[in-house]
Structure 1
Amino acid sequence: MSNQLTAIFFLKRYFTMENEKLILNLSIIIPCYNVENYIEQCLNSIVQQTVQPKEIICIDDGATDNTANVIQAFAQKFSCVKYIYQTNQGVSQARNVGINQATGQYIQFVDPDDILHPNLFAIFLKVLNISNAIELFYFENQNFEKLEDLEFNNNDNSLTRFDTGNELFTHIIKNKKYPGACWKYIFKKETLYFRFEGRNHEDHLITLDVLLSANLTYYSKAPLYYYRKRANSLTNNKKISKQYVELYAQIINKCTKYVQKTNLLPKTKTQYINFLRSDYLFNINIYYLYKEKPPIIEIYMHIYTRLFIKNNAKKLSNIFYMIRYGIRKKIPLKHIIIFIRASLNKDINFITNKINALLN
């Protein structure tokens, strides 16, 4: 069989033809909650592509606005759009429902207020044409606020092959990117042997595990996913709760433990863990965006940075630093003792719990 015939035979496993359009063997999963102002734009960015997914599964997570009507209108017009309702259980359970209902060989998670590049699926088809064993496709992303201001980059569709997820992970970290959110990927369905839990950052650990367990992967330098910075998003001036900060600290702890057990290069592990820890401090700053941050919180954040981000490993040097710093800042003795203990044990959970307890 010629190479051309072999490629055609293989690709027929991953697409069909319908109404003169290529249909990828791909399931799109969109968890939806009160997104009546955004879901139409999101769905349009999918159904208007030249290459179509097999199905678009929209899980209505108990929305109280007009979200259901918008989705159902699309479902009447496009047979690939499927509407599923569940009582409000959070984005994790909505994604799990989508996975269970998906019939495609590949799965992509899309947030309902985001936009896909017009050529995303055509580029993914190109990836499938290159190799018949791809388990994961990672693409760069870009944020936007208004759809009319969005300009799609068509200049760099370069694709890079990585024979293992470890190699792709190392490349992502080396380029100062963060591989956490599940919407940055297209997954082979059989690799998603876990289910999502929790509500905040619940996808990070699962994505990490799937990525580092993957064999053949591909990377797109071009941004193919556009995430919306909404006025009420966590990183755009929304108040976040103490519970949110505490839950994120738990996710960091789990991801850190997981990465430390891998065979990644020490430098890669450190860069990734430092990113997580810096993001924890960023969330504390967001928490105090609308109220005065107590000086003691700033002090604890400084100590956290020194011990667990800058990673000064010399215990004696750290102890002397804590004493001098405590005296200079006129810190109560009980806190200086905590800093010294943290210096001796390098126990990040100990100091994190102290910070979380101080959040008011």
Structure 2
Amino acid sequence: MPVLSIIVPVCNVEQYLAQCLDSLLNQSFRDFEIICIDDGSTDGSPAILDAYAQRDARVRVVHKKNSGYGHSMNIGLSMATGEFVGIVESDDFIAPDMYEVLIEAINRLQVPYVRCLWFDYWDDGNMHPSSSCLCGEQTEEHKASPLACTEIFHEHAAIWAGIYKRSWLEENDIRFLETPGASYQDSSFFFKVLAQCGEMGFVRLPLLYYRQSNPNASMKSRQKAFCAFDEVEEMERYCTARLPENGEAHDVLFRRAFAFFHWTFYRVSREWKLPVLRRARPVLRRLREQAPHAGQDMPPRELLLAQAMMHSPAVFLWRYYTGKVKERIFRQNG
């Protein structure tokens, strides 16, 4: 049995796949398996995967019809045999010592989850290191409690910038939501990990290269617009089933849900803004009732926006567009 199982979800990434797999196979840490889940790719990705599997017995490949990211990841989790699980997206690549550093850290700190920093990476070679609320510690490696430092819940999920103890994931039923065609299926997984882990480890080193796509693309389809609600409802289901008495987790969930809905509101195209607000209103009201101190950890302006979203979707939208018009007039007269 290998020490580490690395899950690589793949769907039409022939341009980047070899760089990703080479970075895994060239790790200084050698005791691992790579589980590649081909989610119905129609480009050259399947052939590339098969070639690597023939070349190195540590590479295992599953080809299947397209069923979505969450289903692919759950297949990988079910196949994993290692003591620890890592995740690498097939258009990213990692530093040669990433898993050596993370495995040493998780063993030293005796925690179920360890996270590192990463580089935002562009194809022209430009890159910028990420940051975290956990960077305040002076040491490069330390423990942290997510429910004591709740800002971590609102950072990039970056589920690929870490490793997890496999038995702990299984014992706590931490898996992915399977919604075909949806986006952001790492969101509920990340929330479950943080809410359940008690303590996590943090390594203040960027060890992965996160390839950037267009961050300004709007979500135009109804399915993309409403996938945030599926993820929040999965977080709520998990809190109710697994953490019913954990008031801190429910408090964090209220703020996380608002932030997710607010971000979705800004990202969706115009025709979906009011439907998003109308669906967000009852969910936020329900979560507020379940959270003993809902909103107490929110900055005043953020709390006011959450209250406005719960009060009247139509008024919230009117104020949004009124503000946009005022901003445009100010710029024209500036």
Do Structure 1 and Structure 2 share a fold, with TM-score over 0.5?
A: yes
Secondary structure at the aligned position of 1:28 is classed as: strand
Q: Structure 1 residue 201 and structure 2 residue 181: aligned?
A: no
Q: CA deviation at 1:151?
A: 7.0
1:270-316 per-residue CA deviation (whole Å, 9 max, x = no partner) reads 5664344233232233222xxx5699789989x99x99984359x9x
Secondary structure at the aligned position of 1:63 is classed as: coil
Name the CA distance, whole Å, in 1 between partners of 2:232 and 2:142.
29
Q: Structure 1 residue 249 and structure 2 residue 229: aligned?
A: yes
Q: Structure 1 residue 282 and structure 2 residue 224: aligned?
A: no
Q: Structure 1 residue 119 and structure 2 residue 100: aligned?
A: no
Name the CA distance, whole Å, in 2 between partners of 1:54 and 1:295.
45
Secondary structure at the aligned position of 2:27 is classed as: coil
Aligned residue pairs: how many? 283
Q: 1:296 to 1:58 in 2, by over 3 A?
A: closer
Q: 1:262 to 1:147 in 2, by over 3 A?
A: farther
Q: CA deviation at 1:254?
A: 3.9
Q: Structure 1 residue 149 and structure 2 residue 152: aligned?
A: no
1:316-343 per-residue CA deviation (whole Å, 9 max, x = no partner) reads xx8xx97xx79x98xxxxxxxxxxxxxx
1:1-27 per-residue CA deviation (whole Å, 9 max, x = no partner) reads xxxxxxxxxxxxx9xxxxxxxxx6100
Q: CA deviation at 1:253?
A: 4.0
Q: 1:252 to 1:41 in 2, by over 3 A?
A: same
- State the partner residue of 2:39: 61
Matches within 5 A, 1:183-222: 183-193=160-170, 194=173, 195-196=175-176, 197-198=178-179, 199-214=182-197, 217-222=200-205
Q: CA deviation at 1:56?
A: 0.7
Q: CA deviation at 1:29?
A: 0.5
Structure with greater Cα Rg: 1
Name the CA distance, whole Å, in 2 between partners of 1:312 and 1:287.
22
* Aligned residue among 75, 80, 83 for 2:58: 80
Name the CA distance, whole Å, in 1 between partners of 2:41 and 2:260.
30
Q: Which moved more, 1:98-107 or 1:142-151?
A: 142-151
CA contact (8 A) 2:113 2:200 kept: yes
- Give the alignment's TM-score, normalised by structure 2: 0.69
CA contact (8 A) 2:120 2:129 kept: no
Q: Structure 1 residue 98 and structure 2 residue 76: aligned?
A: yes
CA contact (8 A) 1:242 1:287 kept: no
Name the CA distance, whole Å, in 1 between partners of 2:122 and 2:64.
29
Q: 1:137 to 1:243 in 2, by over 3 A?
A: same
RMSD: 3.9
* Aligned residue among 39, 42, 52 for 2:20: 42
CA contact (8 A) 1:28 1:53 kept: no
Q: CA deviation at 1:255?
A: 2.6
Q: CA deviation at 1:97?
A: 1.7
- State the partner residue of 1:6: none
- State the partner residue of 1:159: 141
**Ranges in structure 1 where 5+ consecutive residues have no aligned partner:** 1-13, 15-23, 330-360
- State the partner residue of 1:344: none
- Give the alignment's TM-score, normalised by structure 1: 0.65
1:88-136 per-residue CA deviation (whole Å, 9 max, x = no partner) reads 11112211221222111111122111122332112123214525x4321
- State the partner residue of 1:356: none
Name the CA distance, whole Å, in 1 between partners of 2:200 and 2:108.
11
* Aligned residue among 303, 315, 326 for 1:311: 303
Name the CA distance, whole Å, in 2 between partners of 1:262 and 1:179.
27
